[in-house]
Chain A
């Protein structure tokens, strides 16, 4: 059974640009959650999608958005990038919505210059 796949693994952007990150959950999992990980703040919850609907949202500005497709794959987008957006973005999937046991991908490392 394939795990959670995130692409790209690494990317470098400049301030003001936008970025789209992709996540393919474990087959059969319908819930996808996104987290931002930075050394100072740890893992911060961004949002959760279940059956193409955003079920939960963290305390991030509107520049951070996401969506989920009918095959449960999810994307997150960050517009007008700032230096502070440099982080490891982690995607996790679960069989059901809510705070369940999550299986994480390896993450997408974003560096904003």
Chain B
């Protein structure tokens, strides 16, 4: 079946620490996306990856598209309180014809202690 396994499920860290989370897929992807959801809001795109081996940064965030095309990781350096939220990986599972479903991991809940 179509599965995205995201880990860890939750993290509780001190402000200033670095964070790493990852995602693995049962299928090969052409795109990996990382989203963040703040409480009471919808997910917001952080980083999009389009090429195997690609390493992309967005400020303190760095994400990589695994060389096997079945995994990706997201790193956050020097965490700050506003990094609190749920982080989701997402990728397109083929669903027949020319259709793909953007499927999300179950999320990593990040808590940052000031």
Contacts and interface: CB of A to CB of B under 8 A. Distances in A.
A101 B40 CA distance: 21
Nearest to B103: A45
Contacts of B40: 106
Given A45-B103, A55-B99, A99 B92 contact: yes
A90 interface: yes
Majority-rule SS of B interface residues: strand
A104 B43 contact: yes
Interface string A85-113: 00000101000011111111111000000
A55 B100 CA distance: 9
A4 interface: yes
A43 interface: yes
A28 interface: no
B102 A106 contact: no
Interface string A19-59: 00000000000000101000001110100100000011010
B: contact size bracket: 20 to 34
A: contact size bracket: 20 to 34
B43 A99 contact: no
A104 B92 contact: no
Nearest to B31: A99
Contact of B42 (A42, A92, A101): A92
Contacts of A41: 106
Interface of B: 31, 33, 35, 40-45, 48, 88, 91-93, 95, 98-107
> Which 5 A/B pairs are nearest by Cβ-Cβ distance?
A99-B92, A104-B42, A99-B100, A99-B102, A42-B106
